[in-house]
Structure 1
Amino acid sequence: MTQTEIDHFLKLSWFNVKDKPAFSCARELLSWMDLLPPGPKWQTTQFEVQGYTTDTPIHLIWCDGLEVAKSLFGNPIFAQNMSFDPLHDQLPEGATIVPIIAASDKTPVTRQTGGLEMHPLFLTIGNINSDVHMKATSHTWRCVAYMPIPKFETHPNYHTILKSHVWHKCVDLVFAGLKVAAKVSKFMPDPLSIDPWNLDQFQKKSKELLLLGVHLPFWHDWPLTQVFIFLVPEILHTLHKFFFNHLLQWCKEVVGNDELDACYKSHHKCIGMHHFSSGISHHHDIQCTIVAMISGAAPPEFVRPIRALINFMYQAQNPIHTESSIEAMQVSLNKFHNCKVAILEAEARQGKSNIKEDFYIPKLKLLLSFAEAIRNNSGLVQLTVDVSEQLLITHCKSPFTRMSKQKDFGEQIVHILDREEWMRQFNLYLLLCQHNQALINAVVDEDEEVCTTDPTMAWVSHVTPDAHHHFSAPRPIHNHFTKGILSNSANAALTVTRSPDGSNLSWPDVMHTYGLPDLRHKCFWMFSAIKVWSKFHIHLHLTFHPSIIMPSQAVQAKLPSDAFPPRNCDVIFLDMNQGANNPGFSVAQVRIVFQLAPPQCSTAKLPDFLSHPLLYKLKRVYAPEMQPKTCTRFVISITEVTHPVELVLVYGEKVNRSLTLTMSQEHYDHFYLNCYVDKEIYNVLHESLDTEYTL
C-alpha cells in the first residue's frame, strides 16, 4: 500500500478517532508492534578502512549470529525436524553440537537498505533436517546481515581486495558471539611478515600464492572451524549461472541461435510447463529440454558431454544423498571430462575475439568439490535471488518515510526488520493461545500422508486446520490417495472433475467428434450413454520423501479448437506389468478419457521405443494395412497410467519453420523421451532409461 492508501485505510478502520490524524494512528500502531516479544535485534554499525576513503560512509546492518542461532535452536516450530545427537562425536551428557551453516547471495538488493546496494548474508543450523532447511518458505534461513558494497576512491586495482577486506570484517563482527561460544583460542602470527595494509606489496605476494589477499578472514580466530567444510557451494551461481554462461552458449554456437529459438517456439505446450513462445530466454526450464533439443542438430559426440553435465546438475540437487547417489554424480562429471574435447573440436568455446582452446573455467573446477561438500553438509545451498527477495520484508511504503528527516535511515531499517520477525512469531503464539494449546510442537504424522514439509503449517494444521489463511506458506496439496483412483501399482492417484466435459453422449457422436472411427471395435455397445473428460490429473509421491505428495500434473485430451486445430493431447507412461489390454507398449498419447461405468478407459495412439546412442527415441506406430493411414489405438483402464511424459520432437538438422506449437506434435512421427522435464521425473526414469549404458 502507498502512504496515501495507508492513511485512507486507517481513517476508515478501527483507528477512526475524531480529530485524530491518520499519521498519529499509524505511529500508535507501530508503537504497539514494538511491544511484541522480540527476537534477535537488528543493529547498524558504521566503520572505515584505515587509510582509504569511500564516496559514502560504510554501513553494516546486522544481527548477532549467536542470537540468531539460539532463536533457531530454541524455536518449537522446528522441534519435530531437529537432530540433537551427533553420529560420530562423543559428547558429555547434556551437550550437543550446533553446526553453523552460512550463505551469502552476491546479488545486490536495495529494498529496506536506504537505496544502498547490499549483499544479504544468511544463517541456519545443521540440526534442522535438510528437507526443511532447504525450503525458503520454512524460514529456517535467517538473514543476519546486509553486507555493504563500498566504492573506494583509490586505484581500480585495489577495489577487489579492499571490498574483500570489508566483507570479512563485517562477517567477523556478525559471528563474534559464535566465536566466543566456541571458546576463543590464540592465533599464530603471520609467517610472511608482510604488512597487509601495504596493498601494492601484499597483493603481489598474494597473487604469487594464488590467494585473494585477505590476511584476517572472519574464521581466523574461530576455533574448530574448517573453512573447506563450512563454505558450501550453492546451486544458483555454480550450476544455473554456469549453464547459461557456458553450456547454453556452446549449444548456440554448434546448433545456431535461430535454430534453437525455432525448436523452442514449436515445442508442444503442457500445462504447468514454461513455454518459450518468443524463443530462448534466461529461464531455468531451458535446462529441462536442452539435451533433446540439440540431439537432432548437433553431433552425438558433442551432445554426450552436455548430457553428462546436465545429469551432474540434476544429481547434485537431490534433497537427500547417499554414497551411491554421490558416486553416480561423480561418474557423470567424469564422463564430461572424458569427452569434453568434442566441445573444443566443434569450436563451441568462443571468446570475445577468438576461439578458446581450454576449459579454464573457475566454476567448472568448483564442481570437483561438490561430492566432498555434500558428504560434509548433507546437501548444497539452493537459495536463489528469488529466495533472497522472499527473506526481505515488503514494507516499501511505510509511515517511516515521513520520519526520514528526523531519524537516521539505518535506524528505520532496523525497526522494520525487527517487526517483521516479531509479527511472524506473535501470530503463531496468539493462534496457539486462542486454542488453549501448549507451546510444544507435538506433531506426529509418521503414519499419515503428508502434503507439505512446511513445519509451521504442519503445526497449525495439527492445532486448527481452519487457520491456514493466517500464515503465508505454500498452498496445501490435497491428498487424493485416500479418495482418488489409485493406479494398479498404487504409486499414483488419478482424478477427474465431478462434472464431465461431455455427458450422455452416444457412440456415433463420440466417434465422429473425436475422430475415432474404430472405437466401436474396442468397447461395449451395451452402454448407450458415455461421459467424456478433456483432461485428468496425476498425483505422485516425492521420490526421496515417499510420505510427501507432489502437486498434481494435468494430462490433456482436448478436441480440435481454434487454438489447437489438430487437437491437444498429452503423453503418459503405462504400467507394463498390469495392462491386460495393452499390446506391449510403454508410452501412449491420450486421445480421449471417457467413462462407461466407473472411470476406467482411455484411448491412445502409441509411440514405440527405438534405440538411440544418447536418448530414448520413439516413433509413432500405425495400424498395418489400414487406409487411410491410421495410428494404432487401444482402450485401457485409467488405473494403468503411472506417470505423465514430455516428448521433444526429433527436429533433425533443420526445423520445419511452418509448424507451430499448436500442430507440431501431430505432424511429427519421431520423438525423444525427455527424462529431464523435472527433477522428480528425472529421478524416476533416469536409471531405467539411461540407454548410454544399457543398449
Structure 2
Amino acid sequence: MPTFFDTYSTDQYAEERSRNPCYPFVDYAELQLARWMNERMNSTTIDEFLKLDWVRCHMPSFHSSHTLRSWIEVQPSGPVWKTATIKVEGYPHVARYGEPKVIFRDALECVEYLYGHPVIGPYVSTGPQGVHTQAGERVITDFSTATLAWNMQSKLPTGAEVVGLHLGSDKLAVTSHSGDYEMHPLLLTLAGLPAAMRSKLSNSAWICIAYLPVLKFTVHASYQSILANRVLHEAMDLITENLKIAACVGHRMADAWGNVRLVFPPVVALSGDLAVDPWKLHDFQRECKKVGLNGVHMPWWRDYLFADPSIFSVPDLLHSDYKFFFDHLLPACQIAVGADELDRRFAARHKRIGYATLRRVSEVKQMTGRMHRETMRTIIVAIEGAVSPGFMRAMRAILDFLLAAQSPRHTPSSLARMTTDLRTFHHNKKAIMAAGGRGSLGHWRIPKLELLSNYVPFILTHGTLPQWSCDSVEHLLRTEAKKPFTLFTNHRRADFSEQCSRHLDRIEKMENLELYALLKIHGADIRTSLRSRDEMTAVELQDAASHGVTRTLLGQALPGTRAEFCVRSRRMARNLFATGSLSASGSTVAFNLNKQPSAEYAVDKVADVYSIADFHAALADYVQDLHLDARQRMPHTLSPDYRDIGFDHVCVWETYRIQVLSVYDDAVRMDPETLRAIPPGPKYPFGMCDPVIIDSLSADGSLVAQVRVVFKAVPRDGHVLPECLQTPLVYIQDFEFADVDEHGLPMKAADILMYKLRRRCYLDHSGAVHRGGEIVPLLNIVRPVDISPVHAARAMDRSLNELSALELPGYFWLNDMWDVEVHGLLAG
C-alpha cells in the first residue's frame, strides 16, 4: 500500500515537485521561512512583515498572507477536519454559545496517519513483549509488557495486531484575564509507542482529533452537567464511529514501509476530564444523584469492543499522588507538627541547584508541580521528632507507596512492596487521627485514597503509571488550543475552534512538506532508511526519544549531511557520556569540569581558603595510597603536613556537573546535575558543599561524604606527575552510619526507615575535634544524595537554615525519598 509520503508523488503537483521538491516555494530556505511565519504569525502580522522595507528588498515568492495560506492549503493533507452539529431536542442552549458544534477528524484516519507515518510508525510495538530479569522475574514497563496487551492479542485472529489507543482530554479557559471562552480538545496517541517518546511533545506523537462542544443551556443549574455530558458523549460517538467498527472486525492499514497490517484499535487509556440521557430529565437526575451517577444513559463506549471504564480509566499521578498529598497528608502533618514549625523545618534543609526552595509552605495557596514534588519528598525528615511512632509509620508507608508508583519499572517484588506499604498505612492511620491530622473530619473516606488500591492491579494490566500521567495532556491543551487561540483576533465563539483546527492543519502540512523536501533534496529513499523498533537497541530508542524522532530519522536517512539540524527539536540535555567528559570505561556516571578552573592556589593556601587543616597531609596520604580503606578506616591522616607531594599548586573548581544512568534501566541517562564545592565566604559562611555517595573498597561498598574541594594538581616545570595525580581529585569529609548490627553492617532506624549518619571526627594531640577527611579521584563519586539534619525534638534548633543545615548538626538522615532513583536504590 502507498505510504503517506507517496501522496507527494501522485497529487496534482507531482510533476512540479519532481523538479523542485519545495514547490510551490522557491527553495528550502523559503520553505523554512514560510513554515515559521505560518506557525508564529496571524494574517495581519504576516502582511505587515512583508511590507517592511528590508523584506521588500528580499521579497519571497509569496507577497501576502492570503497567497501563503492558499499555497499551504493545496499541500497533501493528513486526516481531514469535519464539522457536525449536535441537536438536543427540548432543551434550548444559550444563544451566545452558538450551536453545539463538534469539529473533528475521523479517529480511525488519525490512527492510520500515526501508524503509517515514517517518523512515528517505526517505533510502534508490533505486539506484546515478555521481559524478565536475570533472576527470572517479570518486568513491567510499557503497555506492550502488561497483561492487557497479551489478553487482547490472544482474542484476535492469527496475524492481527493490537494497536492500543491513549486518549487525552480536558477543558480549559483560553482567555487570559477576562472573558469566559473555553475549549475542549480531544487528543490521541498510540499506546504501543515507548513511554519516553509519548511524554516528549516535540516528537509529535500526539494528534488533536477534535474540539468538543462547550455550551450552556437555559435550564436549571442542576441539569447543566447532565446535558453537557450528553452532548459530549454524542460527539464521542460521532468521532469514534469507525473506530468501533475496526475494533470489532479489524481494519487493514499500511505501516511506515507500506506493508498491509490487520489492526484492531481498542481504547486502553483515557487521561484528563471526559465525563463518563434521558428523556425525563428531572426524575432521571434525582435518581442518578441517589447512586452518585452523572446522568449519562448512552455512554460512547457502550458498543466499543474492549472499551470499558474499568479498563481505560487510568490513575493519574498528577492529580492522584500530588493532590492527595497536598489536600490530605500535608495538612495532617501541619496540624500534628504545627504549621510554623513545619515551615521552619522545610526551610532548614540544604539548598541544591535545580531544586525549589520551600519557604512558608503553609501560606502557599497554589503550588507548582516542582514544589508539590519536593514538599512530598522532604516531609518525612521534616516531621521526624515531632510526631508519634505510629504517625511516622503511617506517613512513611503511604509516601513509600506514592513514590514507588512513580517508578518507570516494576517487578512482582516491587508490586508486593507497594501492597505491603498500603496495608501498613491502613494499619497505622489511626495514629494520624489521634494526632488530629484529619481536623474536623473523623474518617478516612477519601475517594483518592480508595483509588490507591487500584494502582497495583492497573500496573499489572497497563504498565507503569508515569506513561499515563496527565502532564503531557495538560501541556498539549495549551499548544493545541490556547496558543492558536491567541494568534487570532476574531474570537467569536462560533468561529475560534474552526480557526484553531485550520491553523493546526496548516502546521501539520508544512512540517510534512519540510521533511519530504529535505529527503528528496538529498535523494534519500525513505523506505530503505527506516529501522523498526525491533532492530533498535534500548539505548537507541532512548536517544531517539531524547533527540527527537524527526532528527533521528534524518540522521539515519542522510548520514554526514547534518540535515537533522535543519528541523527544530526540543533543547536536549547534554550527554556527558559522549562529549569528551570524564568517565571511566563502563561506568554509570560521567562528569564535566569547566575548561577554566575557578582559581589556582598553592597547596598550603587551600587549607586556609577552604578551612581544611589537614589538606596537605591528606594529599600525602593519597600519594602513598593511604586512603581511608588502606588505613583501616582511621579518621585521621597518617602523613605529616610537611611531606613533599611532588607539586606545589592546584587548580580548583567550585562547581562540577554529574550525569548518571538510571538504576532501573542503564539505557536511560538522567539529566545532568550541577554540584558545588564552594569555600567559606561572605555569602556562604560555612561554604556550600553537596553530599554524594562515594564508591569505596570497604565491605559495605560505598560511603556518604561531603565534597569540600574539587581540584587537579599542577605539575612543576619539567616534571611528570604520577598517574594517580593526573586525574581530577576531590577532598571529602566522610559520614559514618550511626546504627550498625552485630556484623557492623548499617541498619535503618525504626519507623522512619532511613539510615542515620554522623560526622567522622577525631581528636588531635591538643584534644580538639576535627572532621575526618581524605582525597579520592573524582571518578569515585557514584551519585548525588540528599541528607537532612536529625531534629529529634518537638522544636527545631532555630540556628539551622539552608546555609548551615549540613554544618551544625551532629546527626543526619540519608533521605532515600529525595527522588525515585535513590528510593529504588536504598528503600528496598
Shorter-chain TM band: 0.7 to 0.9
For 1:141, the equivalent position in structure 2 comes to: 206
Matches within 5 A, 1:184-195: none
Matches within 5 A, 1:549-564: 549-564=669-684
Query: Contact conserved, 2:756 with 2:811, CA < 8 A, in 1?
Result: yes
Query: Contact conserved, 1:10 with 1:22, CA < 8 A, in 2?
Result: no
* Counterpart check, 1:623 vs 2:762: yes
Deviation at 1:276, TM superposition (A): 2.5
Corresponding residue to 1:180 among 245, 259, 266:
245
Taking the aligned partners of 2:285 and 2:56, their CA distance within structure 1 comes to: 64
Taking the aligned partners of 1:426 and 1:303, their CA distance within structure 2 comes to: 59
Deviation at 1:568, TM superposition (A): 0.6
Taking the aligned partners of 2:61 and 2:90, their CA distance within structure 1 comes to: 49
Taking the aligned partners of 2:221 and 2:660, their CA distance within structure 1 comes to: 55
For 1:39, the equivalent position in structure 2 comes to: 78
Taking the aligned partners of 2:382 and 2:573, their CA distance within structure 1 comes to: 35
* Counterpart check, 1:274 vs 2:356: yes
Taking the aligned partners of 2:413 and 2:53, their CA distance within structure 1 comes to: 60
Taking the aligned partners of 1:405 and 1:389, their CA distance within structure 2 comes to: 19
Deviation at 1:641, TM superposition (A): 1.0
- Residue aligned with 2:648, SS: coil
- When residues 293 and 63 of structure 1 are mapped into structure 2, their CA distance, relative to the original with a 3 A threshold, is farther
Query: Contact conserved, 1:109 with 1:119, CA < 8 A, in 2?
Result: no
Question: How high is the TM-score relative to the length of structure 1?
Answer: 0.87
* Counterpart check, 1:239 vs 2:311: no
- When residues 260 and 485 of structure 1 are mapped into structure 2, their CA distance, relative to the original with a 3 A threshold, is same
* Counterpart check, 1:637 vs 2:719: no
Taking the aligned partners of 2:768 and 2:758, their CA distance within structure 1 comes to: 18
Provide Cα deviations, 1:476-535, integer angstroms capped at 9, x if missing partner.
5324267433359722122222222123x2112111111112112111422122121112
Deviation at 1:415, TM superposition (A): 0.9
Residue 624 of structure 1 aligns with an amino acid whose one-letter code is L
Deviation at 1:393, TM superposition (A): 6.9
* Counterpart check, 1:432 vs 2:519: yes
Corresponding residue to 1:10 among 39, 44, 50:
50
Query: Contact conserved, 1:184 with 1:223, CA < 8 A, in 2?
Result: no
Taking the aligned partners of 1:258 and 1:436, their CA distance within structure 2 comes to: 68
Taking the aligned partners of 1:489 and 1:184, their CA distance within structure 2 comes to: 50
Provide Cα deviations, 1:183-240, integer angstroms capped at 9, x if missing partner.
489xxxxxxxxx8221232233334444333110011122343331122222222222
- When residues 242 and 99 of structure 1 are mapped into structure 2, their CA distance, relative to the original with a 3 A threshold, is same
Deviation at 1:299, TM superposition (A): 2.4
Residue 681 of structure 1 aligns with an amino acid whose one-letter code is V
- Residue aligned with 1:60, SS: strand
Question: How high is the TM-score relative to the length of structure 2?
Answer: 0.74
Corresponding residue to 1:493 among 581, 590, 601:
590
For 1:609, the equivalent position in structure 2 comes to: 737
For 1:686, the equivalent position in structure 2 comes to: 827
Taking the aligned partners of 2:758 and 2:784, their CA distance within structure 1 comes to: 18
Deviation at 1:408, TM superposition (A): 3.3
Query: Contact conserved, 2:551 with 2:567, CA < 8 A, in 1?
Result: no
Deviation at 1:404, TM superposition (A): 6.3
- Residue aligned with 1:586, SS: strand
Query: Contact conserved, 1:557 with 1:592, CA < 8 A, in 2?
Result: yes
Query: Which deviates more, 475-484 or 492-501?
Result: 475-484
- When residues 406 and 684 of structure 1 are mapped into structure 2, their CA distance, relative to the original with a 3 A threshold, is closer
- When residues 628 and 53 of structure 1 are mapped into structure 2, their CA distance, relative to the original with a 3 A threshold, is farther
For 1:594, the equivalent position in structure 2 comes to: 711
Query: Contact conserved, 2:551 with 2:565, CA < 8 A, in 1?
Result: yes
For 1:356, the equivalent position in structure 2 comes to: 441
For 1:335, the equivalent position in structure 2 comes to: 424
Taking the aligned partners of 1:10 and 1:286, their CA distance within structure 2 comes to: 51
Deviation at 1:538, TM superposition (A): 1.7
* Counterpart check, 1:320 vs 2:402: no
Provide Cα deviations, 1:28-47, integer angstroms capped at 9, x if missing partner.
22222223321223344443
Q: What is the percentage of aligned positions where both structures have the same residue? A: 31
Taking the aligned partners of 1:514 and 1:97, their CA distance within structure 2 comes to: 62
* Counterpart check, 1:675 vs 2:675: no
Deviation at 1:588, TM superposition (A): 0.4
- Residue aligned with 2:243, SS: helix
Structure 1 unpaired stretches of 5+: 186-194, 688-695
Deviation at 1:15, TM superposition (A): 5.8
For 2:685, the equivalent position in structure 1 comes to: 565
- When residues 146 and 243 of structure 1 are mapped into structure 2, their CA distance, relative to the original with a 3 A threshold, is farther
Provide Cα deviations, 1:606-661, integer angstroms capped at 9, x if missing partner.
22223422122222232234654321111112222101011222244223445432
Query: Contact conserved, 1:481 with 1:493, CA < 8 A, in 2?
Result: no
Query: Contact conserved, 2:124 with 2:190, CA < 8 A, in 1?
Result: no
For 1:102, the equivalent position in structure 2 comes to: 167
Residue 587 of structure 1 aligns with an amino acid whose one-letter code is V
Taking the aligned partners of 2:318 and 2:444, their CA distance within structure 1 comes to: 21
Taking the aligned partners of 1:677 and 1:392, their CA distance within structure 2 comes to: 35
For 1:691, the equivalent position in structure 2 comes to: none
Taking the aligned partners of 2:774 and 2:492, their CA distance within structure 1 comes to: 76
For 2:510, the equivalent position in structure 1 comes to: 423
Query: Contact conserved, 2:50 with 2:63, CA < 8 A, in 1?
Result: no
Deviation at 1:50, TM superposition (A): 2.3
Deviation at 1:94, TM superposition (A): 4.5
Deviation at 1:591, TM superposition (A): 0.7
For 2:461, the equivalent position in structure 1 comes to: 376
- Residue aligned with 2:314, SS: coil
For 1:190, the equivalent position in structure 2 comes to: none
Query: Contact conserved, 2:611 with 2:680, CA < 8 A, in 1?
Result: no
Taking the aligned partners of 2:491 and 2:610, their CA distance within structure 1 comes to: 67
Taking the aligned partners of 2:568 and 2:698, their CA distance within structure 1 comes to: 44
Taking the aligned partners of 2:125 and 2:538, their CA distance within structure 1 comes to: 20
Residue 29 of structure 1 aligns with an amino acid whose one-letter code is L
Taking the aligned partners of 1:202 and 1:115, their CA distance within structure 2 comes to: 29
**How many residues are aligned here?**
666
Taking the aligned partners of 2:595 and 2:117, their CA distance within structure 1 comes to: 43
- When residues 664 and 324 of structure 1 are mapped into structure 2, their CA distance, relative to the original with a 3 A threshold, is closer
Taking the aligned partners of 1:417 and 1:145, their CA distance within structure 2 comes to: 11
- When residues 455 and 667 of structure 1 are mapped into structure 2, their CA distance, relative to the original with a 3 A threshold, is same
Deviation at 1:459, TM superposition (A): 2.4
Taking the aligned partners of 2:709 and 2:767, their CA distance within structure 1 comes to: 22
Query: Contact conserved, 1:572 with 1:643, CA < 8 A, in 2?
Result: yes
Structure 2 unpaired stretches of 5+: 1-39, 129-149, 251-276, 621-644, 714-724, 740-748
Residue 341 of structure 2 aligns with an amino acid whose one-letter code is E
Query: Contact conserved, 2:388 with 2:431, CA < 8 A, in 1?
Result: no
